[in-house]
Amino acid sequence: MSSHGKRAPEAELGLLDATMIGMGAMIGAGIFVLTGLAAEIAGPAALLVFVLNGIVTAFTALSYAELASAIPKSGGGYAFVREVFADLPSFMMGWLLWFAYMVAGGLYALGFAPNFLELLHVYGLTAAPGEVGSVAIPALGVGVPVAVGLAFLAVLLLVSLNAASTAASGSVETIFTAIKVSILVVFVGYGVTSPQFSGAEFQPLFPGDKTAFSILPAMGLTFIAFEGYDLITTVTEEVKNPRENIPKAIFISLAVTLVVYIAVVSVAIGTLGWVDLARAGEAGIAEAATNFMPQFPVIGNGGAVIVFGAVFSTLTALNAVVIASSRVAFSMGREGQLLPSFGQLHHRFGTPFWAILASAVVMLSSVVLPTQSAGNMSSLFFLLSFVIVNGSVIKLRRERPDMARPYELPYYPVPPVLGIALNLLLTGVLVVYLLRTDVLALLLSGGWIGLGVVAYYGLTTLRTSAEEAETERAAAEDD
């Protein structure tokens, strides 16, 4: 009847575990899936794209660190903004963040599929992913592309797991992250020493029609690769000595992630060349590895290690965002900002069942999107929500100057103001870019925001009438 092991948050995660949670969310799916797509937009300057994104996101990281140290609530950005802003802005924050995570789920599932096919391909079980991806399955009698079908199945599997039992603990996450990082280290190690890399050509940085302005839309697309520290702040209650460890974990994970990204992207561009990397798209890193890794005994093709890493990373990242998205919906339900059932645990499974299920619906539908649209939309919503987070720091400092802030960000108000400006700049660039290339993503994004406004006022009306009925009943009882 009852489950065993730890279920409730308990302070048992150290600095290393917290750092690993952040790195686990950042390193992995983003770098595996988006490197190829970034190369397609920005060429060899994809390297700069990741570096600049790291810098932009560092300002928001400072804000997160201050808020996480001062507001002792797990739940990440939504919980912080809820504390600071009135109903509508905090609702929008939750609504944006919820969607960002759900679409990120779609993105990771879409990144999982071609890498999984590449894994099968490495062992000679299927044709190259590019050739399989467009083929329909006759067995199903419908024209479902294999990749979409695989992505759909992956989401379905992880959602069912999470709906039926509670999540894996932080220590499992540490092991997962260690595996991912070591696979990338192997990738970089072999890449740097490979003959292809010694002849690598990064010049010109902007070949053909690429210009310095190609960097901006690519930054927008890959911004999602840096959202991991929001996840650290969703487990704050479980971290030992959080007022010191949470800011540290945020900065360390961001710095390490940036170093790993720079190394991986350099190797990928250096060995495969940006043209081939761009062509390989979601499976770019895997293809680069297959290109230069030696043959191993038992494992066979050395690239298989990296491909396995990509499959593993996208799946674990997918699992993380299933949890993250349902936590946002759960918190919103608890706060009465979504239907109350979202904030309730299932009596049979002990999980936030309805929150997970609702997230699953959006995630499953986003799987039919092109990977790039999913990446763009998710990045767009993270950018917007980060604007609100930076705003919270400013608002909180003004309205509650006497609040205890164990960590105070330096040079206030420069970092949050810069964070807002840079995030808005990227949002603007991304929107302009989407107007030209991906109107569907833009329409869907606008649709979700519109739906949010409708949902907000719908729920408010519902609640007010419920409260009025309650008051009337109470008044009738008094008579």
Interface residue list for other proteins (CB under 8 A): 1-11, 69-73, 83, 236-237, 241-243, 333-336, 340, 343-350, 399-404, 406, 463, 466
**The CA-based dihedral angle spanning residues 217, 218, 221, 226, taken in that order and rounded to the nearest 10 degrees:** -120
Other beta carbons within 10 Å of 361: 11
DSSP letter, residue 168: P
List, in sequence order, every residue forming a beta bridge with 137; answer none if it has no partner. Answer: 142
Residue closer to other proteins, measured from CB, 239 or 322: 239
**What's the Cα-to-Cα distance from 465 to each of 263, 298, 418, rounded to whole Å?**
58, 67, 43
H or E element in which residue 272 lies: helix 242-272
Rank residues 121 and 334 by Cβ distance to other proteins and give the closer one: 334
Kindly state the smallest distance separating residue 334's Cβ from other proteins, in Å.
5
Q: 10 Å Cβ neighbour count for 7?
A: 12
Q: How far is the CB of 473 from other proteins (least distance, A)?
A: 13
Judged by beta carbon, residue 311 or residue 356, the one nearer other proteins is 356
Structure tokens at 402: 């006497």
CB of residue 411 vs other proteins: minimum separation in angstroms? 22
Measured from the CB atom, the residue of 65 and 224 that comes closer to other proteins is 65
**Nearest distance from residue 381's CB to other proteins, in Å?**
25
Distance of closest approach, residue 71 Cβ to other proteins, in angstroms: 6
Residue 174 CB, nearest approach to other proteins (Å): 21
**Shortest distance, position 406 Cβ to other proteins, whole Å:** 5
Residue 64, beta-bridge partner list = none
Nearer to other proteins, 131 or 470 (CB): 470
Spatial separation of the C-alpha atoms in residues 355 and 340, rounded to whole Å: 10
Which of 349, 412 has the CB closer to other proteins? 349
Closer by beta carbon to other proteins, 196 or else 344: 344
For residue 72, the minimal CB distance to other proteins (Å) is 4
Cβ burial 282-291 (10 Å sphere, 16+ → b, else e): bbbbbbbbbb
Q: Which is nearer to other proteins, 25 or 71 (CB)?
A: 71
Rounded CA-CA distance 42/202 in Å is: 12
In angstroms, give the least distance from the CB of 359 to other proteins: 18
Angle between helices 87-122 and 371-399 (to 10 degrees): 150
For residues 261 and 31, is the Cβ–Cβ distance under 8 A? yes
Amino acid, single-letter form, for residue 59: F
Q: What are phi and psi of 280, to 5 degrees?
A: -70, -20
Q: Give the nearer residue to other proteins in terms of CB position, either 89 or 406.
A: 406
Task: Say which amino acid occupies 164.
Answer: A
Which residues does residue 142 pair with via DSSP β-bridges, in sequence order? 137
- Of the candidates 164, 150, 29, the residue with the CA atom closest to the CA atom of residue 101: 29
Angstrom distance (rounded) from CA 161 to CA 159: 5
Cβ–Cβ contacts within 10 Å for residue 221, how many?
28
Cα separations (Å) of 464 from 329, 391, 460? Answer: 21, 29, 6
